Every structure is written in C-alpha cells, then in structure tokens.
Structure 1
C-alpha cells in the first residue's frame, strides 16, 4: 500500500512558537502559570501541560480574578480589553499571539480609526475571530458567507475594509470577496489568510484527489482541521477525521491501494507518525 503524508501536516509556525513559550515558563517562575484558553486545540498537549502545573482560564470573568501569576496569551490572540485587564491586575503577560494574527489586529485598529467599517470573514465563535473583533469598534462585524453580508443592509456609500480569519477556506474567501466587489461600496480588501493555511489546504486537496482513503488528523475543536476535512471530503468520499491513533480503525484501509494523511496546525508530529506507522504495518 502507498501512504502519502502531507509535507505541510502538523504544527504551524505560530502554534509551535506558542507551545514552546508555555513550556519555557515551567520551572522559570514560582508564580502560577495560566493560559487564556487552551494553548492549542489538542487535548494531549493541554493534558501534558496540566500535569506540569499549567492551568487553563476558560472565561473572561475568571481571568479578572487572576493576580500574582503568569498568563500566556495563545496563538489565536485576544482583544485589546484582555491586555488592559491583565495590566490592571499586575499579571505578567507572555504574549504568544501568532505574528500573522497580530498583523490583523493592527490592520483592524487602524482601519476602524480611519472610519472604515471592518468586515471579518470567519467563524463568529472562533477565539481568533473574537480577538480580532476586539481591536475594532462597535461597527466591526463578522460574516461567514454572502447571506450574512446581505443581512447587514449597508448604505451604498459605506466604506468597507475586509479581512479574514487566518485559517479560513481560501477559495470561499475569494468567492465572497468577488461577490462583494460587484456591489456599490468603497472596498479595501486585505487577504489575511495565513500562507501556511493556504499551502496546507492546497496540498490536502491534491493528495485527497489521488488516493483511495484520506485521513485527517486533529483536535475535535480545531477550526483549521475541520476545514481540511471538508476540503478532503469533496475530493475523496472515504475521508476520516481522527484525533489520535486510538480513533483510527485499520479496517477502513484494509483493501485499498493508496492512503493520504494530513493534519491540522495543532497536531503534534508524534501523533502523525503513529498513524503513518500503523498504516504501513
């Protein structure tokens, strides 16, 4: 059987950097260490950090109670108000926000200050999008498709700035932007989808179109992994979404000639290697 593993599978630059920043804090300080939200959408990594004493803050209300501690801001980033709360409480901040996400924060803040209405193309409930929105103003909104855009019923003279969640589906982003561009608005479009995301999606699509079975590995709460699964499923009907080797059913590849493997940006290499080895056994 031929097994093809995507070269872009696994930790992206931003996630790897964030995880390393948390581990670097362990043993460096006597203060309690927290991450605001899980550092990545991977239960195995979060569980290992928990065993080493790193706790997860799950809500803004809980964050407001933290004192004399270290709080790591994950790669997804946060809104301006979170920095203000942490500074007011005298908390030591370790900022692991992905630089590509930071760039969007600066864009949204600047464009809002210049009077443009900012449209964020992405998933409203995703932490990265919530953080991006927190650098805009009351006019900043999130849309996921053209139906959301049309519901806004914007006046024709509205000045718009369009940005995107870094892990949004690139083809879907292009389609939405193309349709909005045909309307009567003064539009500034900034493609803020991460290059690594685009490359991962393109490679996954190519591999899925050439194999009998496609395996997509990643945490169940990982937005970018879900998008990879959706993309692969369109190319290969025998596409399976698994979190770890324990979710993998060898029977799904028992009588096929080729298998493809890709993984989300929060998937550790050891899990990818375990699945790869199992496929070859």
Structure 2
C-alpha cells in the first residue's frame, strides 16, 4: 500500500472509532473522558489528535457527526447551482487549491468499455480509510473506499466499469494524482467513463463548494431534468471518483443523507471533515 500520509490515516482510524461510539450513544453527547475511553486514548491525547487533524474540539466534531448536521448544512450552506454559475463560481466545489483537468470519453470509447486501454490500479491510505484508485495514462478513472465494504467487493465494483480493459497493478503510475486529491494541492487529471446524463450530473457536483451541500432535486433542475430526481440519484451513485467529484455533498430535500455508494459512515465523515476544515480556516482568517 502506498502511504499518502500515514498520520492522517491513523487519525481517520481514531475518527472512525469515534463515529461508532457516537452512533452507539444514540444521540447522547459523549464527554471527552467517555469518548477517549471508547477510542482507547487519554483525553489529552484525543484532544490533540482532533485539534491537529481538523482544528476543532471533539465536542464540536461530534456535532458534525450527528444526523442533524445534514439538516443544518441545508439550512446554512445550501448551494443553489444556478446562482453558483451566474456569479462566476463555476468549479468552486473543487477541492480547495486542487486543480482538476478532466476528459470524458467519446461515445465510441464509451461503447468499447475500455477495449484497448490499460487501467493501472493500487491501494492507498486516505483520510477516509483504505482507498482503491484506478487510472489510465490520461488520468484517474476510479476512486473507491473499502472502510465499510470489503476490499474484494470494492475492487470488483470499480473493475466492472471497465470490463474490456487490461487491469495492471501499478500504483506508482497514478500516485501523484491520488496524492493531489487527498493533500488538496497540485493537479489531479481525470479520465471518466459515463453516459451523457451522468457526465452532466458529475459536472453539477463539481460546482458545489467545499463545506456546502445541495439536493438531488436541485441537481436535477440544474441538468435540465427537474423530474428526474431518481435518475440523478442513480448517476450520483455511479460517480467513479468519489471525493474528487463530491457526491457526498448531495442530500435529500428533507435533510436526510440519502445513500452513499461506499457506506453512509464514510459520507458522514467526509461532510464532517469538510465542515470542520472550513470552520478552522474561517477561524484563522478571523484572527
């Protein structure tokens, strides 16, 4: 496994255990001492880990992991995609300073399902657990997570999207793009395989700013099919490069999380991570 940042991955392991502890508490806030006991750390060490990773306290982070956080995001950080485009913010949903170059396959290439292509793959550590990345010579074509789903199922899922391609384990061929995605700097090239409607939905997702959310119905309106909410949900679920194309920022109109291809705990962790990151940045600016 290639190490993007072993300390960050370790911290995510702590966060994962904290999420499980918060879930088990059934909505009752856990005191720092109790949460530290659940994750097997001293209270002081846990406080340092949380502060170093996201810049907020464990108590504050617990609030971001609750189911109510999604509703709060809709109330405070709802993004209307038409407005985003009208004010010239297209692309602001890209990961902070990460510049994404992406290329969608032609209809002919889509029909061939990767015939004649070599797809390189490798396992990487990420802030959200084990990550499987796949890519061609043009860019990343797959990014999936195996924290809630077995590794073999994650691999089979991404590989099935390229049934006619030659798969070759070669993490070094794609590591720079993966590092750019998770370290949020540099360039991550993308080479995507999708039907025209799916491509439109993925483009809309890229317009959701980090730390903000929108709804499936809003995306449907933006892509010109306001009644196709279910089809939008399917296209969101087929996003081949989760996290880079931020499908975790799509919620139900009610504030419910909806589904997530790689497991709802991962989606919750991503939303909490981005919220805390934005709050930490805002605090630095205020000072």
Structure-1-length-normalised TM-score: 0.27
Who wins on radius of gyration, i.e. which is larger?
A: 1
Higher helix share: 2
Structure-2-length-normalised TM-score: 0.26
